[in-house]
């Protein structure tokens, strides 16, 4: 099986984004051992799992290059969706550590129930009729059903609202670095959400693909900079 040029470019770009995202997540997690603040663990794992919709693209890309075989729909759907509820729960832990601490158990509890329902429906459809989840398009692309699209919209809305609130609360701090972190968190989540939306709406051409992946990569850099800010950048931006 031979990949088309656009699929090859897409595979390379997504593999790069995922690799950088995992490295960024691990580096953020490592801050816990220095600062002993659990928010770094939650934030780091959040980003590693938040890019899971791109896992099957990259896995399919590598599989086709090495074995010539495509992923089955079941494997593709599991890789692309299994970690999303976990990512949101982890993010809500980080979010409620700063905002709504007194309501942390309620907020996480409500979403936990939602996540359980999602998992039950997901595996039921996966075992009975995977077409209800979506259909594979070409070698590494997928067209998700309206039901899954609605689910993704709820996820994106949750990420965006909590990210903005998290950023606004951080910007209330008297510490310049924390204020800057708040701004970068807001920018990072807007970049992530807009990138995902454009990716889903536009037909892929080499140009549109490069632009979308650049926007998604910028969200990784912004999230990284929010938590691990280089000293030279900190001095310049805060000034």
Q: How far is CA 124 from CA 29, 73, 117, 146, 151, in A?
A: 34, 14, 11, 17, 16
Q: What pLDDT score was predicted for residue 100?
A: 85
Distance CA 135, CA 123 (A): 16
**Reported confidence tier of residue 105, pLDDT bands at 50, 70, 90:** very high
- Could you tell me the two tokens for 47? 């980003």
Across residues 168-189, what is the average pLDDT?
A: 87
Q: What pLDDT score was predicted for residue 237?
A: 61
**pTM for the whole thing?**
0.86
Q: What pLDDT score was predicted for residue 136?
A: 87
Lowest mean pLDDT among 28-32, 64-68, 173-177: 173-177
What ranges in 83-145 are assigned the alpha helix state H? Answer: 84-98, 104-128
Within 8 A by CB and 6+ apart from 223, the residues are 24, 47, 184, 185, 188, 192
Is the pLDDT assigned to residue 49 strictly greater than 90? yes
Q: In a 10 Å sphere around its CB, with 0-12 CB exposed, 13-18 middle and 19+ buried, how is residue 137 labelled?
A: exposed
Give residue limits of the domains in the chain.
Answer: 5-234
Average pLDDT, the chain: 88
User: What is the CATH topology of the domain spanning 5-234?
Assistant: Rhopdopsin 7-helix transmembrane proteins (1.20.1070)
Q: What pLDDT score was predicted for residue 202?
A: 76
Residue pLDDT, tens place only, 107-157 = 999 999 999 999 999 999 999 999 999 998 877 888 899 999 999 999 999
Q: In a 10 Å sphere around its CB, with 0-12 CB exposed, 13-18 middle and 19+ buried, how is residue 44 labelled?
A: buried
Residue pLDDT, tens place only, 197-221 = 888 787 778 888 888 899 999 999 9
């Amino acid at each position: 099986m031979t990949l088309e040029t656009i699929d090859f470019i897409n595979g390379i770009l997504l593999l790069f984004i995922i690799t950088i995202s995992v490295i960024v997540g691990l580096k953020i997690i490592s801050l816990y051992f220095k600062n002993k603040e659990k928010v770094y663990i939650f934030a780091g794992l959040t980003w590693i799992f938040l890019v899971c919709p791109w896992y099957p693209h990259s896995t399919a890309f590598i599989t086709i290059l090495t074995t010539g075989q495509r992923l089955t729909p079941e494997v593709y759907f599991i890789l692309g969706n299994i970690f999303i509820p976990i990512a949101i729960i982890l993010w809500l832990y980080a979010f409620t550590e700063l905002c709504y601490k007194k309501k942390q158990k309620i907020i996480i509890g409500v979403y936990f129930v939602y996540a359980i329902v999602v998992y039950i429906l997901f595996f039921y459809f996966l075992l009975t009729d995977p077409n209800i989840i979506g259909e594979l398009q070409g070698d590494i692309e997928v067209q998700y059903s309206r039901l899954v699209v609605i689910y993704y919209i709820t996820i994106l809305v949750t990420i965006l609202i909590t990210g903005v609130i998290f950023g606004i609360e951080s910007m209330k701090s008297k510490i310049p670095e924390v204020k800057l972190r708040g701004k970068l968190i807001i920018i990072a989540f807007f970049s992530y959400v807009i990138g995902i939306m454009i990716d889903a709406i536009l037909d892929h051409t080499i140009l549109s693909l490069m632009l979308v992946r650049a926007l998604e990569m910028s969200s990784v850099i912004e999230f990284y900079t929010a938590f691990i800010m280089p000293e030279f950048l900190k001095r310049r931006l805060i000034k």
